[in-house]
Amino acid sequence: MKNRILTFLLLIYMMSHSFSFGQSRPRDLGIHIGVIPTGLQNSITDVAGVKVGHTTLIQGANVRTGVTAIIPHPGNLFQSKVQAAVFVGNGFGKLAGTTQIEELGNIESPIILTNTLGVAAGIEGVVESTLSQPRNENVQSVNAVVGETNDGYLNDIRGRHVKAEDVVAAISNAKDGKVLEGNVGAGTGTVCFGFKGGIGTSSRKLPESLGGYTIGVLVQTNFGGVLQIDGVPIGVELGDYSFKDHLVSVDGSCMIVVATDAPVNERNLKRIAQRAMMGLAKTGGIASNGSGDYVIAFSNFLGNLISHNSPSSNSKNPPTSKMMT
């Protein structure tokens, strides 16, 4: 109980003195959120096979944007699709690829995060990357999954500085292990709760007696509300929160990517995705009217990968599940 009071005092102190966290994380400061242990890195890459890549664009005074790519597994994603689902927390956003994920229950490409006006570049980059991959010489249809938040407060978003090659670069430089967080990739220009937002990640690992599965999350934070950290009401204590002066805009968005190695199918992935919005709530996020809050969840469990070359498959026609064969 004493720890909890110290945590409380520590957080209030740091946030009110504009303490810079750099690449340090709450857990480094002794703040342990939740009741289940983390994976090794406390990051989405703790799910074996998942890789993350960033392209960060900082130019002059006004360009602060970028691309973050999440690669579900290291193989050919189009040929070996992952079961997947999307949950729409608040659909004021441009997430590309949703209806096909919903219909077929799978993702067949890297997941791209970028800024709102960079979605076309995101799709073009994914298409480019997929068509040029070996074994994809006859592919004529790619469902690119591209999410976004609006970094127009810090970034010259109308300049559309993200290009297809930046997307291809983020895919190419993706790697496992430690994930860069904060002002990087798609988080370069985002803001959150009136502080600087950005990319964040974490993971949890079930005990072996419950299967030993890992779940990892990566977020692009760009939203508002009434900040709290591990239940401590930072926002209220600092007097800095939504509705304080009545209708302060709290718009913005949050893209959430959830990965797991557990053998869950697309229906249960959708249920898992839905719970991620409950996690957003626990940070003090309120999913305001203008927020584009989406959760993309996938499982890269080997036994559930979906081969593009199933009996019922043709040029456009991927198998829908092993159960169909």
Residues designated catalytic: 253, 291, 293
How far apart (Å, rounded) are the C-alpha atoms in residues 228 and 209? 33
Place of tokens 């930072």: 234
Nearer to a second copy, 22 or 158 (CB): 158
Ranges within 248-277 binding a second copy (CB under 8 A): 249, 251-252, 263-268, 271, 274-275, 277
Q: Are 11 and 236 in contact (CB under 8 A)?
A: no
Does residue 236 belong to the site contacting a second copy (CB under 8 A)?
Answer: yes
Site for a second copy in 51-90 (CB under 8 A): 88-90
Regarding 142 and contact with a second copy (CB under 8 A), the answer is yes
Quick check: 5 binds a second copy (CB under 8 A)?
yes
Closest approach of a second copy to the CB of residue 243, in Å = 6
Binding status of residue 17 toward a second copy by CB under 8 A: no
Q: Nearer Cβ to a second copy, position 165 or 230?
A: 230
**Count of residues that bind a second copy according to CB under 8 A:** 98
* Dist. CA 227–CA 233, nearest whole Å: 6
What is the gyration radius of the CA atoms in the chain, in angstroms?
20
Which residues are CB-contacts of 111 (< 8 A; sequence separation ≥ 6)? 69, 70, 71, 72, 145, 146, 147, 257, 296, 298
Which of 180, 186, 279, 295 binds a second copy (CB under 8 A)? It is 279
Instruction: Please report, as residue ranges, which positions from 175 to 214 form the binding site for a second copy (by CB under 8 A).
Output: 207, 209-210
- Binding flag, residue 105, a second copy (CB under 8 A): yes
In sign, the C-alpha dihedral spanning 133, 138, 143, 149 is positive
Question: What would the DSSP string read from start to end of 197-240?
Answer: -EEEEEEEE--GGGT--EEEEEEEEE--B---BTTB-HHHHHT-
CB of 178 to a second copy, least distance (A): 27
Judged by CB under 8 A, which of 27, 231, 302, 309 binds a second copy?
231
Using CB under 8 A, which of 10, 14, 29, 131 touches a second copy?
131
